[in-house]
Amino acid sequence: MKLKIAMIGVGLIGGSLALCFKGKPGVTVMGYAHLPELKDKYIASGVVDDATLSLEEAVQDADFIFLCVPVGLLESYFGQLAKLPLKKGCIITDVGSTKASIAACAEHVRMSDAYFIGGHPMAG
């Protein structure tokens, strides 16, 4: 079985998660960067298997999408994801430190065939 994991934000938390998944049998880690120099940095550092400047390309056929961006940007990303063709059964999670606003935003953004599970970087 092959899994594609899309990392939206490959900073400290996103990068740490990416490194946990990278190199596992059957797992491909795709990073999304909003700046060309970040895309090159992610690939050169070996944190991800590949990276792109296109959100659509990053999440295409992804089994899991990790939103590892500041809480203030999550609403925008939910809106963008809602307009993209996501893989049936895709699980979307975040690493935001607050949940009320994120859960409300995720509830109002209908993503057909995808599921949102709120996360937290300190859970466990």
Ranges of each domain in the chain: 3-117
Pairing of the two strands 114-117 and 50-52: unpaired
**pTM beyond 0.85:** yes
Tell me which CATH homologous superfamily contains domain 3-117. NAD(P)-binding Rossmann-like Domain (3.40.50.720)
Distance, CA of 9 to CA of 6 (rounded, Å)? 9
Q: What is the pLDDT of residues 17-72, one digit of tens each?
A: 999 999 899 999 999 999 999 999 999 999 999 999 999 999 999 999 999 999 88
Report d(CA 92, CA 81) in Å as an integer: 10
Specify the pLDDT at position 124.
46
Q: Which residues sit opposite 64 in a β-bridge?
A: 5, 91
Whether 94 shows a pLDDT value over 60: the answer reads yes
